[in-house]
Structure 1
Amino acid sequence: MSEADTAADNAAGTAAAGVRLEHPEPGIALLRLARPQNLNALGDDTVAAIARLLDGIGADPAVRALILTGEGKGFCAGFDLGLAADAPGSAERGETAAWMRRQEAFAALVTRLRALPQPVIAAVNGPANGAGLGLALAAEIRIAGRAAKFNAAFVRVGMSSCDIGVSWLLPRCVGLSRAFDIMLTGRMVDAAEAERIGLVSETVDDAALLPRALDIARAIAANSAFGVWMTKRGTWANAETGSLQAAIELENRTQILARTTGELAHAAEQLLARRKRAAQGNT
């Protein structure tokens, strides 16, 4: 089988699982959850397909930024409750063990998104519930359409809202008191409130959501790939650092490492050349 045939088979498989990878512009990938009939709820096949695609994106140096969004009227309704009575894997290994493997697979999507060298922009186009909230929180930048709404859904169906990183990520976005409010009540947070409390960086009209996400992705892609990667990695690392001095120590070493790429020297040469041309034009 040729590489083209293999790629076609992989694309067909991920589409059947409810996820689609697009490349709307050079340097920009768009990962679209594509189960609109159930607001892009996540099943086991969908989670596995997303994981494979994220691994491929992370290994592709041509991709400089990733947009994550949903098809239709929803971003992601979280875990597909239709699977609640279905334990994955073989029965002989035990129901609890099977559910733990499922839980770990879902949660690993968050750490995969964080580990990507490319920044992730979540373009939240509708409900982001439960695991959908977790996926949105895993993105470095979140923007919302007017129809977006968020909630920690599992507390309303007998489970904990502490799921796929939400208990770590949400307080860092909105503060501990607001996070407790959202996680303990399971209430919906609409787009306007999400922007007000810092859950998203901005809210736009629904029709403008993807164009705005592309604008942000272009701005990221215009910068140094290594510098962007180190900015993402360093900021996440320092979110867990215990002191200002430790954060500065990491920053100092990152800047010296970035200098070895030669891109700073190139930028300085370009700046000096522009200044020289401007000076010559004024004489």
Structure 2
Amino acid sequence: MASPATPSALRVEHVDDGAIVVLAIDRPHRGNALDSQTLAGLHRVLDSINGDPTIRAVVLTGTGSVFCAGADIKAAPEDLTDLDATPYSSLRARATSTVAVTMAAQELMASAFEKIHRLRQPVIAAVNGAAVGGGFALALACDMRYACPTATFGAVFIRHGVSACDMGTSYHLPRLVGASRAAELMLTGRVFDAAEAAAIGLVLEVVETEALVERAIDKAREIACHSPLAVWMTKETMWQNVDAPSLRHALDLENRTQIMCTSTGDLANSFAAFRDDGTAIRKPL
């Protein structure tokens, strides 16, 4: 049976008076692999962040030399003993087969990644090492990625006789690098390095390991200086319009979002500041 998660399974650090959260998976002895207990804790942390208007951006990383090795394959899927705060406790209780129990474990992980993608605050991945399998999907779920020189990436399940379409990979990867490139990476299952990840646009920049998290925090600060509603609506609208069925659909959503944001008064304040001193507001609103 998997050992219960301890508070150290996830490290949460608040930066800039709490405006930025650095969230680290802290299971270096297991390659920061995610067991059900850690995933249940991740759900709770994400729900807390999403409901806190003082938090403006999130940096996600791992401790040690691995970002995330994906699911902890040594933890049995039936060890879902800490799921009271998740929607899957009832499924676990009603399960009549190992398939149902395994499905609950699969949903626990996939829905955590979906929460990251749907979080109101932008999430920046600081990929400090290997991000393969579910760890690759975790990095893809974030809004942007930085990587250290030793970081590696890969959709590797196809090597083990399982579909490489895993935890959102088949959704995110084609949108980030194009369908043909995504097909090549997923059908070969090859592991590629940080330099290639930067060349294909998967990561923004390759940063020395010791400066990686701080670089991600600096980018978070650039975002945090803007109106919280404007950031939230920009993130949400952009990702929704990635799937827009038409330009008209995208324009309609943009128009509604823009008009809604003008009601906060931030736009008028910014224009007033520009008239007064020729600069736009750069402090958090």
Alignment check: 8 A CA contact 1:120 1:139 kept:
yes
Structure 2 SS opposite 1:128: strand
2:267 corresponding residue in structure 1: 264
Equivalent AA in structure 2 for residue 24 of structure 1: V
CA distance in 2: counterparts of 1:167 and 1:87, whole angstroms: 28
Relative to structure 1, is the Cα distance of residues 103 and 265 closer, same or farther in structure 2, using a 3 angstrom cutoff?
Answer: same
Alignment of 1:251 with 2:254, yes or no, is yes
Gaps of 5+ in 1: 1-11, 277-283
1:28 corresponding residue in structure 2: 20
CA distance in 1: counterparts of 2:95 and 2:147, whole angstroms: 44
Cα distance, 1:20 vs structure 2: 1.4
Alignment check: 8 A CA contact 2:24 2:60 kept:
yes
- Greater fraction helix: 1
Alignment of 1:79 with 2:71, yes or no, is yes
1:19 corresponding residue in structure 2: 10
CA distance in 1: counterparts of 2:244 and 2:238, whole angstroms: 10
1:178 corresponding residue in structure 2: 181
CA distance in 2: counterparts of 1:127 and 1:195, whole angstroms: 15
Between the two proteins, the alignment pairs up a number of residues equal to 264
Alignment of 1:202 with 2:194, yes or no, is no
1:7 corresponding residue in structure 2: none
Equivalent AA in structure 1 for residue 15 of structure 2: P
260-269 vs 244-253, greater mean Cα deviation = 244-253
CA distance in 2: counterparts of 1:147 and 1:196, whole angstroms: 15
Gaps of 5+ in 2: 81-91, 280-285
What RMSD, in angstroms, separates the aligned Cα atoms of the two structures? 1.9
Structure 1 SS opposite 2:32: coil
Relative to structure 1, is the Cα distance of residues 275 and 96 closer, same or farther in structure 2, using a 3 angstrom cutoff?
Answer: closer
Alignment check: 8 A CA contact 1:77 1:128 kept:
yes
Alignment check: 8 A CA contact 2:5 2:38 kept:
no
Relative to structure 1, is the Cα distance of residues 245 and 62 closer, same or farther in structure 2, using a 3 angstrom cutoff?
Answer: same
CA distance in 1: counterparts of 2:273 and 2:248, whole angstroms: 34
Equivalent AA in structure 1 for residue 12 of structure 2: L
1:157 corresponding residue in structure 2: 160
Q: Scaled by the length of structure 2, what TM-score is found? A: 0.88
Structure 2 SS opposite 1:122: strand
Equivalent AA in structure 1 for residue 28 of structure 2: P
Alignment of 1:51 with 2:43, yes or no, is yes
Q: Work out the percentage of aligned pairs sharing the same amino acid.
A: 46
Alignment check: 8 A CA contact 1:149 1:188 kept:
yes
87-96 vs 39-48, greater mean Cα deviation = 87-96
Deviations 1:75-109, CA, capped at 9 Å, x for gaps: 00001121367575569621000011111111001
CA distance in 1: counterparts of 2:5 and 2:273, whole angstroms: 46
Alignment check: 8 A CA contact 1:15 1:34 kept:
no
CA distance in 1: counterparts of 2:244 and 2:24, whole angstroms: 33
